[in-house]
Structure 1
């Protein structure tokens, strides 16, 4: 199963302080909008998202259709295909993508320890 680009989405209290901290670790701006409370940072192949006031917990994030530089892939498994495959395997969903839709969509699942996993397709 190809889930797309991987990152960790961090819930932060002060996005500016978190940005400065991770920049000191060598992370650089990859995208986002600090005025909206979210930034994407990258250090080599490691990608993190900083999110203030958007999520309750840190979570693993996968983006079908993107590579680690948030560039579109020519070929990828649509999120609805991934969702159907996981349902067949008995995975329980916290949120689901609308199976009748096309394009951007997301779903959320949890691992056995309660760690949230967001699969978020942007195109």
Structure 2
């Protein structure tokens, strides 16, 4: 199973302070708008999303259909197929993708320790 590009989405208290911190670690702004309280920071192939006031906890994020630079892949596993396979393995979703849809879609699950995992397909 190929889940796509990986990043961690962090719920931050002050996006300006967090941006400065991650820049000191060598990250640069890759995407997002600080005025809208979100940035995607990149260091090599590593991505960290900074989100102020958008959600409570941190989220492990996978993007089917994208490489680590958010370039669309020609071939990838659709999020609906990933969801179906995970459900067949007994993993429960906290938010499902509606069946019979196509294109962009997302679903959430939680690991045994309460960590949120988002499968977020943009293509």
Is the TM-score greater than 0.5? yes
Aligned partner of 2:92 in structure 1 is 92
Q: Are 2:19 and 1:5 aligned?
A: no
Aligned partner of 2:103 in structure 1 is 103
Give RMSD over aligned pairs: 0.8
Aligned partner of 1:61 in structure 2 is 61
TM-score (norm 1): 0.97
Count of aligned positions:
123
Task: Give secondary structure in 2 for the equivalent of 1:51.
Answer: strand
Alpha-carbon shift at residue 94 of structure 1 (Å)? 0.7
Regions of 4+ moved over 3 Å: none
Give deviations 1:63-105, integer Å, cap 9, x for gaps.
0000011111110011111111111111011111122211111
Q: Are 2:33 and 1:18 aligned?
A: no
Q: How many angstroms apart in 1 are the aligned matches of 2:107 and 2:6?
A: 15
Q: How many angstroms apart in 2 are the aligned matches of 1:22 and 1:90?
A: 37
Please list every run of 5 or more consecutive structure 1 residues that lacks an aligned counterpart in the other structure: none
